[in-house]
Structure 1
């Protein structure tokens, strides 16, 4: 349904559409899906990808069976707003099934019912309905619009949709599986709102809603599922939240080259000075994407149209996704945010499943990847992560981008590979085939013929078996699919219950030229003769049941064993044997070592100690060495390494893993202990720099993973932990399986103890004359600038936030003043004026160029014809907070409005966090007016937080400075 810019402007011209909120931001599905794709690809290279799903589902009844789902992998998530309603933040997430195997066998004897390999071309999907979440960071004050697969509902998977009882089991199993995955694998960010600014247009709070695009809920619509995420933002200039939207709310993204918009309330446009709206600086996105403004309109409120575009330093690898066959090659290119090709400094290619070096393939310095040969691939399908690294201009700066590549043993996949059908299932048998490059598939019956074949489309066909009198107890029709290469599928018509059981009843893979031994586990008529033969397909079987594979391509043979006495067949049974040239890769069987150590720890690296502030990390090294198998080295696969985690000794539950975007355990979070998979900005408790070793195999049998432990437990508490991981065989392994010294670690929680003399607060005259005599500095020099530097003796400060206060309660919805003013005396004609500014360098931000003032103070400075005040780098160093005191003799008290004086009078309550992650709450103010020369000096006292029930709300109790 068309929705032009003209239509939207006409609708917005009828009156305000902000509903009392300061602003409304809208983000389109197309760009949000690009952000999801970027995060999905980044996680492939960081042990944070969704692992393969494995499970067994059983159903009972006349034909009780078990379905084994092996190695199901999911593609990049993408959003649909077909279920959006504006009354909530509901959306639908869709992921393709891109790899795996599905095999169904009879519960009684293991006889094959159906087997096929899953490929993305088959079109199977998983759908999850979920509510977008709001998560606010304690340190960076970033409100994140997130989704979490673990919190989804109404899962739907099309893999087994034609079998409702089994599909219900599958959905339940998937829900349980998602709930058990670490947050770093299940949480994705869609947008970020910076809540730490002090401008009137700085966001203070927001709510999230989802909205379908016009016509996007219609089943046949071209834009079906299209829509937007709406963020209703309360800014500093608002005194209250706005109203909630209803179904009549206008859609804010018109047709055309737009992927985002911002609607600013008409009453706030007076704060929109200059070309760059302050609020746009507060709308952030994962990675290095940004809201890029394209045009502005003012139908009533101010409308900004633009796009969520990558910055130049947003790098991507193209193609982002691809499928190739074993032995083939494909070239990859690194592009910057403007789409220009750049030369990568390094290329890497890693298979998530392989245990041998040859399984990873090879990639050269120009990005050309050569897949492992058919002899070396070792798996039906491999997921290979192709990564480019580009060295930046700063020391140690490296930009990384990844792509996902599926390498398949065969380019042709069929459904089924082999299957058995009882008489009531033989009316019409569907067939399907997919080629990796989407070319059509040709179907044909191989002799002997047992029915008719008809094509449906270029991928699908129908087989109708012969029916009527004289039908044999067991009939096999071989069907061949051809698309560049051939593949045979065996359709086994079981027309009567076999009396003889063979073991195994199904052999999943026999390499051409190899042998599979079949047997009769329960003897029927022990004295009678046995007659073994290949009923259908390639290969030979001797009279001991040894089947030898022969053939040119992948296929299925049906081997029968008949009980014969006096020339009469009394019973028979069969086994379905699949064969190909695929040589399955071997794997390790046992571990030589499995340890967990506290880096630079005590008691032989078994003990550690860390602050209980939730943000300082204790670095742990998990080391795994496998044992050789028949002289061969098999390290852990990347998939196995991704399952590695830390476990509580007491419970024994897995320690929670933080989402990738979280720096630590936030104030009010339920976790007392948590693990990250990468270091944050704070100094390690180990007293050393974070290790830079690879998170994968470091030798042919050794693997190392570094984990980072966080703590909010009570001071003095001690806990023991051990490590564990799940092997590809599904077996769990733990470091405590042996009694070595480093089987477990012991960590104690420490609380920072601070004395007032641990702080210093010193003055330096930087402008206006004087500097040698304390008294003369103020008596003889009346227009001056002093830097008051606040330091903590034992660590540098890395973040600073001026807190909004309601009485003695921290209020995130209250915008604080960040400047203070005072006069020398109480007279309205007093002109001896002092005011303050701030200098602080956040460790994640560029170095400050100018002194920061409150926006109200900026207006006063503008009236005084003062320009921005540069930071004097001679007297400021990162790691400290500087309170700048500026003295003048020409600002009369009566010239400032009463509300301005009320706004700029309160003291500043500041939260500083040091490089160890510890919080320092301080209150700064001018000296009491009763003290002489009070406007020349500051007082500072400590304040201590006490957490209330509501997360991230604190009551501050004041303590006098010692």
Structure 2
């Protein structure tokens, strides 16, 4: 028996009413609500309401001396937890994993501090502390329990280690979320049908959050577990009730298990004053509990009347809830085919029609067999982007309900099967150690290569690198030490440590170049003043390949390293007076052709060109856009907005 068993809850309820004068109370645990959130997150991709990727710059220090740059940051599914919950508020913590993108930290106007590409396995997240909201539809009279990311009180992102940097990156995301349409940032946990005429019809309700009893202890495995608690005023109530005491209100979700699986995930309590109502009315109250998309239902399992009436149940998928596995997956371009399966009522569903489309490319979606669901990615030469975001969709027509069921999954296709973080970091001789974290799509055992300079101590998928302590070990002022790791499938990934004998004395603009295409060029220049006019400038590629002439750098056609380091030494009268470097991130892909200009843009009405005098008529319009060069991709199409300009 668990610490919060069904029997112990019933015994507690024998002491008197727990509803605090509300007509009814409902509680839903975080595990099942997170399934609801995951479904909505995937469903948003089957349209235009998904969260876009984020790019931009922000300060990482209050003094502004350090800056961060995000490139194509892709956020994962929202995960609800209850670390801040107290039962007398509606506070919850929403965590969004970071699935992909690049983060670079640098000194303002100076060199790179570190840079890395991101995968979900690295554990980077965006955390949002927020209050759950209540929204009542003016037409459908549905009371919705809503998560609105724009109403988050605290945003924090662990892409950087210092707490102040995490808050500043979080503030960047907070501002970006505020600029998004509501449909891209609002999630619904559950609904109450406020229509009806009986005394057990819900009229209004409040939302509270509660931590599970065992989750009150810090650092336990279930530290963030909890429930959303809905206090409901019924039509038969004279008035609403009180806010329950956090210390006295019982946690209504039993922790009973069978074969290691929790038996209950939802509970409804009906005030004792309404218990004598007919079972028909009681069932109508239960059926007024609704969930987004009609993909989940409350299934009553055990009914007791210790004082109030309590119904212990489970929030289960409805008979029309089709899902796809895997719902989220990463695959290397040119990798082995992947088998998708659709499930209905926990069984594999046959006769499903499969399709795939890319959000951020036009030619790199790959192919999926319409009947079997076997997906084949494009080759590495065809990928066209650092990461391709594909949407896999299953469609099935149910002949009994006459409904067409759809489900979607997100598939990320990347050029590499491995990643390492950080992928670039500079270190002085005798400088601080660096911890590297490597991830492999294969999940196999990793092997680290011993470095020439310094020492490397591996431990599974992590390794601690310590720079050399002796200046004489380096023959040059700037030396790149590669950090290489290999998986059992023979895939390798490489990071670069730029070892320096002394701090750079010359600033080069730009100090960091992101994703320079194969054979691409960039002009580097020095920004120092006071240099004698007859001083000699010597440019050289330290590592990574390519060539440089008078600061004009050309990337190699086939990069062998993810980064190139270009230095400039300034000599005057045969003495070295200045020295600095620029870091260039090399791209191993040929980017898909992009459009360069819009040659045609027009809006046309699909019905009528005349409007009502009151100006409230809705008229669907069609946008026609022709571009020069490449075509608009799905991301770009979904970013289109119609703005009303003032007079």
> TM-score, with normalisation over the residues of structure 1?
0.62
Structure 2 residue corresponding to 1:432, chosen from 433, 437, 440: 437
- Per-residue CA distance 1:675-715 (angstroms, 9 max, x = gap): xxxxxxxxxxxxxxxxxxxxxxxxxxxxxxxxxxxxxxxxx
| Contact kept in structure 1, 2:21 and 2:241, CA below 8 Å | yes
Aligned 1:632-651 pairs, distance under 5 A:
634-650=630-646
Assess if the C-alpha contact under 8 Å between 2:103 and 2:159 holds in 1: no
Judge conservation of contact 1:22–1:233 (CA < 8 Å) in 2.
yes
Q: Indicate the structure (1 or 2) with the bigger Cα radius of gyration.
A: 1
For residue 303 of structure 1, report the CA deviation from its aligned partner.
Answer: 1.3
SS of 1:618's equivalent in the other structure is coil
Match of 1:821 in 2: none
Q: In the aligned structure 1, how far is the partner of 2:524 from the partner of 2:251?
A: 68
* Structural mapping, 1:431-580, within 5 Å: 431-446=436-451, 449-455=452-458, 457-470=459-472, 473-483=477-487, 484-502=490-508, 504-510=510-516, 514=519, 516=521, 519-521=524-526, 527=534, 531-538=538-545, 546-547=553-554, 549=556, 553-563=560-570, 569-579=576-586
Q: 1:406 aligns with which of 402, 412, 437?
A: 412
| SS at structure 2 position matched to 1:639 | helix
Q: 1: distance between equivalents of 2:272 and 2:568?
A: 85
The 5 A counterparts of 1:303-452 are 303-328=310-335, 329-336=337-344, 338-354=345-361, 356=362, 358-365=363-370, 366-393=372-399, 397-422=403-428, 426-446=431-451, 449-452=452-455
Q: Displacement, 1:39?
A: 0.5
User: Residue 407 of structure 1 aligns to a residue in which SS?
Assistant: strand
1:85 positional shift: 0.9
Separation in 1, partners of 2:491, 2:524: 33
CA distance in 1, matches of 2:393, 2:49: 15
**Structure 1 residues 505 and 21 mapped into 2: Cα distance closer, same or farther (>3 Å)?**
closer
Using the alignment, how far apart are the partners of 2:549 and 2:580 within structure 1? Answer: 16
Alignment of 1:208-357 (within 5 A): 208-247=207-246, 248-256=248-256, 257-273=263-279, 277-288=283-294, 289-328=296-335, 329-336=337-344, 338-354=345-361, 356=362
Cα distance 1:567–1:550, how it changes in 2: closer, same or farther (>3 A)?
Answer: farther
Residue of structure 2 in register with 1:806 after alignment: none
Q: CA, structure 1 residues 271+476, in 2 after alignment: closer, same or farther (shift >3 Å)?
A: same
Q: Once the 2 structures are TM-superposed, how far is the Cα of residue 469 of structure 1 from its aligned partner?
A: 5.0
Following superposition, the deviation at residue 106 of structure 1 comes to 4.1
Match of 2:620, SS state, is: strand
Cross-structure match for 1:9: 10
Change (3 A) 1:405 1:563: same
Q: Taking structure 2 as the reference length, what is the TM-score of the superposition?
A: 0.90
Alignment of 1:91 with 2:92, yes or no, is yes
Residue 167 to residue 327, structure 1, CA distance change in 2 (3 Å): same
Distance 1:540 1:154 in 2: 47
Check conservation: 1:509, 1:578, Cα contact below 8 A.
Answer: yes
Residues 1:487 and 1:222: Cα distance change in structure 2 (over 3 Å): closer
Contact 1:134/1:143 (<8 A) preserved: yes
Name stretches of at least 5 consecutive residues in structure 2 with no aligned partner: 257-262
Shift of 1:579: 3.3
| CA–CA distance in structure 2, aligned partners of residues 192 and 29 of structure 1 | 16
Provide closer, same or farther for how the CA distance between residues 546 and 216 of structure 1 changes in structure 2, counting only shifts above 3 A. closer
The 2-side partners of 1:14 and 1:146 are apart by: 33
Following superposition, the deviation at residue 178 of structure 1 comes to 1.5
Task: Report the more deviating stretch, 224-233 or 384-393.
Answer: 384-393
Q: Counterparts of 1:650-661 in structure 2 under 5 Å? A: 650=646
Residues 49 and 8 from structure 1, CA distance in 2 versus in 1: closer, same or farther, beyond 3 angstroms? Answer: same
Q: CA deviation at 1:214?
A: 0.8
- Summarize the alignment of residues 58-137 of structure 1 with structure 2, pairs less than 5 Å apart: 58=59, 64-108=65-109, 111-137=111-137
Distance 1:539 1:22, change over 3 A: same
Shift of 1:285: 0.8
TM-aligned CA distance change 1:610 to 1:114, over 3 Å: farther
Aligned-residue offset at 1:202: 1.4
SS in 2 for 1:287: helix
In structure 2, relative to structure 1, the CA distance for the partners of 1:195 and 1:495 (3 Å cut) is same
| TM-fit CA distance, 1:521 | 4.9
> Alignment partner of 2:145: what SS?
strand
Kindly report which structure 2 residues correspond to 1:583-732, keeping only aligned pairs within 5 A, or say none: 583-602=590-609, 608-609=611-612, 617-627=618-628, 629=629, 634-650=630-646
What's the CA shift string for 1:367-400, capped at 9, x where partnerless?
1122222111122222211111122438984221
Give the 4+ runs in structure 1 shifted more than 6 A: 60-63, 610-613
Aligned-residue offset at 1:179:
1.5
Contact 1:69 1:102 survives alignment (8 Å): yes
| RMSD, aligned α-carbons | 2.8
